[in-house]
Amino acid sequence: MSLTLVVLCGVLVSAGVYLLLHRSLTRIVLGVGMLGNAVNVLLFATGGKNGSAPILRPDGTVEQPVSDPLPQALMLTAIVIGFALISFLCALAWRSWTLDGNDIVEDDVEDRRLAQAGSVDPASTPWERP
C-alpha cells in the first residue's frame, strides 16, 4: 500500500468523523459520504497488484498472476450500501427541513431531564429491574 493512499484514507476518515460529530444533518450526510469513500480507498489499497482477469484460458492455463476479485466485490458492495445510506439520510434531512425549517438534530426531552437531574436511578432502568 502506498503512502499516498494511507494519507488519503487517514484524511478522509478524520474529516468524516469530524463532520459526523456536528448536529446538522447536512454535515452528517457529508461525513457518512467521506467515511464511505475512505472505506473504498482502503479496499482499493488492500487489493494488491494488478493482474489478469480471474478467468482461465481455453487450455486451462493462466498468463500472469490473477488479480483477487474479492476486494472489487467488497468495494462494489460498499458503494451500494453507502448510496442507500446517504439516500436515506438525505430523505431525513429533507423531511426535517420541511417540518422545522432547519436540519439541526435536537436533544430528546427525556435526555435533557436526565442531564439536569445529574444521575439516573438504577431502579428505573429496565435492564436492572428484578
Q: Tens digit of pLDDT for each residue in 65-115?
A: 777 778 888 899 999 999 999 999 999 999 989 988 888 888 778 877 877
C-alpha cell at 29: 450526510
C-alpha cell at 120: 439516573
What percentage of the chain reaches a pLDDT higher than 90? 38
Q: Cα(73)–Cα(53) distance, rounded to whole angstroms?
A: 14
Pair 36, 86: CB distance under 8 Å: yes
What is the pTM assigned to this prediction? 0.71
Helix (H, G, I), strand (E, B) or coil at 24: strand
Task: Tell the CATH topology of 3-49+69-118.
Answer: Helix Hairpins (1.10.287)
What is the reported pLDDT for 130? Answer: 47
DSSP symbol at 125: S
Backbone angles phi, psi at 51, to 5 degrees: -150, -170
C-alpha cell at 119: 444521575
DSSP symbol at 127: G
